[in-house]
Structure 1
Amino acid sequence: MTSSTFVPPLGLGTFRLTGQTVIDSVASGLALGYRAIDTAQIYGNEAEIGQAVAESGVSRDDLFLTTKIWTDNLGRARLAASLRESLDKLRTDRVDLTLIHWPSPGSAVPLAETLALLMDARAQGLTRAIGVSNFPVALLQHAIDIVGAQNIATNQIELHPYLQSRRLTAFAAEHGVHITSYMTLGYGKLLQDPHIQIIAGETGATAAQVTLAWAMQRGFSVIPSSTRRENLASNLAAPEVRLSEEQMARIDALERAERLVDPQGLAPRWD
């Protein structure tokens, strides 16, 4: 199974959702038909997601759960233990995908050490696959050199029509590494873009559906989040929207290198 067929094209994101808000979002999402859920240790919501999943009645075998190892836990002393803590919170014996959330700041923990630990966690059955997040070309190349592209299920990056990271996505495609887009709707900015709105009118879709469909037609997975049931349902229908090559090109033309997530002290040197 290749990485591009392993990672579902559409999942439910949970960034910035905590407490009852994330419980309600995940419960609604599962009831509507979402089967992929994306979380992270730093989100502080794994336990609530575990509760929502347990109460949903959806079989664990039907779900695709992703979590991400925080930078404090990338070394030998913490990675496996922190992943087991995540599993306990999620009320499961394994996740489907475990990512390095951000590169180790200042390379404090060698990438080779973290990847070896993740490969070991996979061998132990704690995760079905491993991958990376927020890795630019140089770091993705380094990861490939260490474990091989076939062992990197995805690189999850900020990607939307205003920030298309074409050098990175082309490099990933060349090496067979799948891309997962986060912040695909650009904190909602894309929903107000007149070019997106015109295409929405042409297709009879919503601006959100058009933006998500653009990313998926480019071969990327998407993980939009919402606290509103109607938006969750609408996003879930995005794969049904088909954009023409001319419409895709008009969205491609919106590139303006607008990065929305660039945390000081965490962000690597971007391409």
Structure 2
Amino acid sequence: MARQGFVPYLLGTDFHRLAFVEFGNPAAEAVVCVHGLTRTGRDFDPLAEALADRFHVICPDLPGRGKSDWLGDAALYQPPSYVIALAHLLAFLNKPVAWVGTSLGGICGMMIAAAKHTPVTRLVLNDVGAQIPAAALARIRDYMTKTPERFAAMAELEAHLRMVHAPFGKLSDAQWAHLARYSARRTEGGGFALHYDPKIAEPLRAAIPLDADLSPIWRQVSVPVLAIRGAESDLLTEPVFERMASDGAATLTVSECGHAPALMDQPTIDAIRAFLEARG
């Protein structure tokens, strides 16, 4: 059963609330799961429920998403701001954590794991790595800028998610319905919009898509890493994936999906659990 919580964090001259849901025993070892650019922490419900018998699983909504506060300045929707918010969550937890990060959540995880005296003990990177091609960033920018402002019914919103997130893999109707439920917010006058602040797209629109080189951060990560790649991913390319493996990362390729695996299928959940339970 998910339990809702909030933690305050200071960004600039204003305090905001970071929302999270948690599963399992708070006295158990912690696993923090952080979602991708346009998603929420509830994407991890199947994984969190599967781990809750052994771990304390915490799934935050990044600023501007889900139940977390929106930011007044669109320019703050950048990884350094997210890391500040997540650092407050880590201070609130006050214990070592394993980290599971999808796409943007993985970038934040790398940044935190690379820091001196990091509380991160193990790192799962879901379809993100040391380099990101400009073409993948442009694709994400383009679908975000073309997202409808309003959907008349939940069925329309779910159909949109099935289209733009088709690379998540072969999800069941129940899984798509779950994603749609936590991707929606009611709008004035009826209908639904996606759960996030539309301004999160502004930094992407303002930037010229270039290859993103995260190698300097990646090289500072010294904890055990499991790198997961969708077999058809355009964001985590095979050469980068192979380089991460040669650097010592354990790897898992998820078939029949692109960017990014939903982490809802049992074999992937089992592989993540085995990695989190490993010692040495």
With normalisation by structure 2, the TM-score equals: 0.31
Higher strand fraction: Structure 1 or Structure 2? 2
The two structures have a TM-score, normalised by structure 1, of: 0.32
By percentage of residues, which structure has more helix? 1
